[in-house]
Structure 1
């Protein structure tokens, strides 16, 4: 037997000063296997953090929109060379925003002890790696004959990746045309991203030339779940353990209300996925977010 694989995909190991990343790339089926378009045409690029978890889902969605809407999209998943689990510990520092005082709320382990081996707050450094190392290699080396550098770009992130996406919006709003922040845990570290990056973004005096759009999504909260017909209490408890935190809806709606009048955001959409928990809503967010980016970007 052979390993299963998708056509028109490849991957490479990006060796950076932050360590190695597995970068997975997919390009339109209508293009040649050597990544060359058949003609000059607009090309979208979707960057996905936690690529280990969401790359292939994103590829599936873009290939359906290629068929239904003629959209040409390159998907770039950025993940880790970890073959034993989906979520690598390096996403902690990579995806969480820095704080002014360099202090972070360290989570406790199962025994109530601080996990001092974990680090946080390096999202801006990771973004620099994406912008200055991964993005140029994809655009100039892998796709020299496709107009990726001038095409529209979106960024997708979930949970920690959601606040990474928001940190990108607040610190480099010109880098992507659309930010998809799925279930962003904005209360992380005592809501430091709200108190620092968001405030600075809302108070900035200059208006960027092409403001990005923002899409925030989330699933059902723990308090909304009820015991189903014939369901055991144990099953309900398990579903509640996977549900969105009860803070999610309020935090997302509050952020939207505060950002609504910002001249540096072109459009804001929110979407609640009824019946989806914190993890499963990520997959739904990939589908709805990518479709929004590829087919409704012009609205507003």
Structure 2
């Protein structure tokens, strides 16, 4: 029996497909750009765009009390893990420890590499060094602008709205980890805690490693105030990631600094996407011990 396809049927089918597609897009947007906490939009003149931030306040938040601050990249990614770790820490140490602020990437525009890749590396995160006589100029990362947004716009906003202590942490994963290391060697005084989970330090033939080494080995640029760095990688990650991690450890070992306390961990059997969730509680525990000393 032949099925008669009418114009009305085609229109209804097309509308159903469009509605379904819009619904999927709306769900993805909600999951990416809406958090379970306080969501604030900041109009950034540095980035020339509006940026959203997710703000998780401690349980029983007291506006008269000064709290440590943790800023992390990648928005909702791993945010539940952070919530659980901070809640557990609050119970074990009798007091929620920090205000957590997470910055999501833009939704309709791919800005992750633009914001998190250092300005001395290519946004397309090549493994090999840039050719000496390159004919096609590829755009570099703009982590310097993203860091300026945090320093000159986000931090002043948070300081005006909340009472903050002098303890501040910057945390990032993968490209976000390279951003953490970039911040450490360009603005080490901005935070006194740096968490780099699976840092993508292999960009452009280990350029992130090389820049960190240049900073640590220069007498004038050493870390001048007490600072904590936590590095981690999954044991089952790509060999290039493991090589960069090993190089970072070697650089830190070869260039000791009395003001820089660092810890590193290889999480056995963990894949790239697994490592951050394993690392959060460990990094918080290490930082807590560092602060108490």
Range into which the TM-score falls when normalised by the shorter chain? 0.7 to 0.9
The residue that corresponds to 2:23 in the other structure is: none
Q: TM-score, normalised by structure 1?
A: 0.74
The residue that corresponds to 1:98 in the other structure is: 119
The residue that corresponds to 2:110 in the other structure is: 89
- CA deviation after TM superposition for structure 1 residue 197, in Å: 4.3
- Matching of residue 278 in structure 1 with residue 293 in structure 2: no
1:74 to 1:128, Cα distance in 2 relative to 1, 3 A: same
1:256 to 1:172, Cα distance in 2 relative to 1, 3 A: same
Q: How many residues align?
A: 250
CA distance in 2, matches of 1:103, 1:181: 20
CA distance in 1, matches of 2:292, 2:249: 18
Give runs of aligned pairs for residues 138-217 of structure 1, distance below 5 A.
138-140=158-160, 142-143=161-162, 146=163, 148=164, 150-217=165-232
- CA deviation after TM superposition for structure 1 residue 152, in Å: 0.4
- CA deviation after TM superposition for structure 1 residue 107, in Å: 5.6
1:207 to 1:106, Cα distance in 2 relative to 1, 3 A: closer
CA contact (8 A) 1:49 1:161 kept: yes
1:79 equivalent among 91, 98, 104: 104
Q: Please give the per-residue CA displacement for 1:272-293, whole angstroms capped at 9, x wherever unaligned.
A: 1112100111121223222322
Structure 1 unaligned regions, length at least 5: 109-115, 222-243
1:80 to 1:254, Cα distance in 2 relative to 1, 3 A: closer
From the CA coordinates, give the structure whose radius of gyration is larger: 2
CA distance in 1, matches of 2:75, 2:123: 25
- CA deviation after TM superposition for structure 1 residue 252, in Å: 1.6
Q: TM-score, normalised by structure 2?
A: 0.75
Q: Which structure features the higher share of helix residues?
A: 2
The residue that corresponds to 1:112 in the other structure is: none
- Matching of residue 12 in structure 1 with residue 1 in structure 2: no
CA distance in 1, matches of 2:50, 2:209: 30
State the secondary structure of the residue aligned to 1:154. Answer: strand
- CA deviation after TM superposition for structure 1 residue 265, in Å: 4.7
